[in-house]
Structure 1
Amino acid sequence: MSKTDVQQSRRPSLRKLRIDVQEMRTELEAGFDSPREALAWFQRLTVRTRGEIPQRRYQQIAEEFPPTPGHDRGPFLEALLADHAAPDTAYDSQEVRRYFWAWSVLPAFHRALRQLRKDAGSYVGETKEAQDVSRMRYIAMRPAIDEIDRDQAGVLEAFLDGFDEPADVLNWGERLQLATHGEPVQPDLPGGFATRLYTEGVAADVLPETSNTAMLTRTDDTHTRAREWLAAKLLLPAFNRGVRDLAGRAGEEADTAGDEIGDAPSWEVGR
């Protein structure tokens, strides 16, 4: 960001959230090279809209992801892909992306900003540099939101990569709890999601019809698509619920790029 673009604000967290969301729109308009890249974008969008994307929207998104190579991608997913990745669409992909932004993301940003304004800090008596929104380190100036963003990105990447063996799901399941802020992935089913993946996977040799071992460990197109489908269907909605619960609890910290992580900010926050 150039010096002429620097923004000063007495309530910088509100403007920082707008910058965070604006960056997502830039990525959306450029399109994505693969469904996996689109999934990673949806995860980041979930955090930056503070869990305000409706759950039903994630259900619709999941329907766009084919569970196997024998199923076609949905038209919305095709429109999300960059032109060179989906060259045969018969509609204006850019317009579809902008329509999604207008009808799904802008309303979510509106709700997120209304929630954030309740506890957005006001900074008084500081220099212009201290109010420079472009230098703020964290998403919406909330370290806990940044932290769950990293947790979710790591958990999603590990799941999409697949596991060396079913037992690796146990460690992944612990990380999943942090990424969802303790929200269940499948609220209507007994046992945790990772527990079910592990126990059903271990039974692969005995009960192959109930096993997820191949889906968890194989990297061929069939099982890669199955993991992408599950991530869209189950992980993204759980991430969304977790961020929504955390958003109202996350404290503000005026830490700027260049500050040492962990140092207490020198600013006084006026309410």
Structure 2
Amino acid sequence: MSSSTRSRRSTRPALEVLDRDHDRLLYDGDVRRDPPIQPLADGFTSLWMALSWYQAASVRTLGHVESVLEPRQIMPESPVFDDLLRRSETGSYVRQRLVESMDDACDLAFRQFRDRAKERLEDDDESVTIDPENERNPLMRPAFERLDTGQSKALRELWTGFDSRREVTRWLRSVTAVTNGEKPQGAVNDLERSSPLMEALLDSESDGATLTRYRFAVSTLLPACNAAARTLRGSESANVDSDMGKWERG
């Protein structure tokens, strides 16, 4: 068996899984995941689904989703916000253009992951059959599954709000692990200085508080999620500056 044949065998399974991951993000969705992935082409039924999609895309594109769709572009004041949330007549066209543009982000992830894909098999002489339809680990890597699950859990806890300041600060400390250490520096102090934000985190009832928590997640957590996906690869580092103030409109 030639070395080129062994190389193709060792890289194909993980790369096929990654390609299928991208199809689910853009076209098919993934109801197996909790929360499910709603495909970008169809748009999102709620703010929560938009937030969840972006976090899932961060993991599955190694953070390169932001090269096409920055976190700020899913803020309510963004020109494409209504299109993403199925609230405009032009939504289908705009989303299709975004899907087409996302090819670039997917290509970047594919190219940067392809060399690491060789590490999946311990014995290159063994032929391994992997069905991308059944693989549950993004990129066929348990580490990315843990990252995805941890980030999704942190976002869900933020989305529903907290009962006490102690819960808030403990949650914020837990964000360090699920963002691979990319949480903005000084986040706790910034949070303590922002009374309106703290009030929103402790208010699980009002729509206004929910929107504030959404803004906080988009401006502060999603950039950290992108950075975490990049640093988990082990070949690219990224720093996330403190951005706590951007949860406010404008």
* 1:32–1:38 Cα contact (<8 Å) kept: yes
Q: 1:126 to 1:133 in 2, by over 3 A?
A: farther
Structure 1 segments unaligned to the other structure (5+ residues): 1-7, 66-72, 202-209, 250-271
* 2:67–2:105 Cα contact (<8 Å) kept: no
Would you say how many aligned residue pairs link Structure 1 and Structure 2? 212
Residue matched to 2:54: 42
Return the letter of the residue paired with 1:196. D
Return the letter of the residue paired with 2:97. Y
Separation in 2, partners of 1:241, 1:56: 15
Q: RCO (CA 8 Å, sep 6+): is it higher in 1 or 2?
A: 1
Residue matched to 1:25: 26
Percent of paired sites with the same residue: 29
Separation in 1, partners of 2:68, 2:41: 23
Return the letter of the residue paired with 2:217. A
Residues 91-170 of structure 1: matches in 2 within 5 Å? 91=90, 93-103=91-101, 105-121=102-118, 124-126=124-126, 130-170=129-169
SS of 1:184's equivalent in the other structure is coil
Residue matched to 2:241: none
Structure 2 segments unaligned to the other structure (5+ residues): 1-7, 28-38, 236-250
Return the letter of the residue paired with 2:197. N
Separation in 2, partners of 1:236, 1:18: 23
Separation in 2, partners of 1:179, 1:236: 11
**RMSD over equivalenced CA pairs, Å:** 2.4
CA-to-partner distance for each residue in 1:41-81, whole Å, 9 max, x for gaps? 1110111001122368425415x32xxxxxxx544111112
Q: TM-score, normalised by structure 1?
A: 0.70
How far is the alpha carbon of 1:226 from its aligned partner? 0.8
Residue matched to 2:224: 238
Separation in 1, partners of 2:234, 2:200: 36
Return the letter of the residue paired with 2:193. E
Residue matched to 1:206: none
Separation in 2, partners of 1:33, 1:100: 17
Where is the helix percentage greater, Structure 1 or Structure 2?
Answer: 2
Separation in 2, partners of 1:34, 1:9: 41
Return the letter of the residue paired with 2:180. H
